[in-house]
Amino acid sequence: MSRIGKQPVPIPSGVEVQFANGTLTVKGPKGTLEIQPHPLMKVDLDMSAKLVRVTRPDDNRQSRSLHGLTRSLIANMVQGVTTGYEKKLKIGGVGFNARMDGKSVVLTVGFASAIKLAPPTGVTVDVDKDGTTITVKGSDKQAVGQFAAEIRSKKKPAPYEYKSLGKSGIPKGIRYDGEKVVLKQGKDFASG
């Protein structure tokens, strides 16, 4: 039995969970999320105990892997509609910054023109007044993580550029808040 899959998902107060026509819908203060669980997985709603249980039909490899996955996705949905998810990104480098243009974020990260990225529905973006911290928020964990990864991919941290660290000690580029960038040693050229 899957250690994750066998744990029931508690439904907090203020959250509505419905399962109809193969679609699980979770409504809460932060929004509404839907998922269609794999047909092998059986989702049981226990409204008296305020729990969601996921069971599997057998011990096949696919059933075992889907068991824990389905339970985790449902737990993420419940947490997303109650507290939401947040990812912070830091920008380092001289002249590198971000700003908001309506709902879109505009990145100035060393290219000839600025990069404008529009967040998907259900995801909001905030930029601090310095333009060095970007906060991505939303109720869907996958959408928040995906959009944060898209922002980071536009200018990944530079592991070789020691001179770009400056006084702040932040490598040039965009990195997650708390991410440790391993600085690499460049090539040594012998004189002579």
Kindly tell me if the per-residue pLDDT of 124 is higher than 90. yes
For 151-191, what is each residue's pLDDT tens digit?
A: 999 999 887 765 555 555 667 889 999 888 877 776 666 65
Q: Give me the pLDDT at residue 191, please.
A: 59
For 16-46, what is each residue's pLDDT tens digit?
A: 999 999 899 999 999 999 999 999 999 999 9
- The whole-number average pLDDT for the span 125-131 is 94
- Compute the distance between CA of residue 192 and CA of residue 184 in angstroms, rounded to an integer: 25
**What is the percent of the chain with per-residue pLDDT over 70, rounded to a whole number?**
90
Q: Give me the pLDDT at residue 157, please.
A: 87
pTM: 0.86
- Compute the distance between CA of residue 46 and CA of residue 29 in angstroms, rounded to an integer: 21
Which residue segments constitute the domains of the chain, with CATH numbers given? 9-82 (3.90.930.12), 85-176 (3.90.930.12)
Q: What dihedral do alpha carbons 59, 47, 144, 177 form, nearest 10°?
A: -90
**What is the percent of the chain with per-residue pLDDT over 90, rounded to a whole number?**
71
Confidence tier at 147 by pLDDT (50, 70, 90) = very high
- Compute the distance between CA of residue 19 and CA of residue 70 in angstroms, rounded to an integer: 14
- Compute the distance between CA of residue 114 and CA of residue 108 in angstroms, rounded to an integer: 5
Kindly tell me if the per-residue pLDDT of 53 is higher than 80. yes
- The whole-number average pLDDT for the span 5-25 is 92
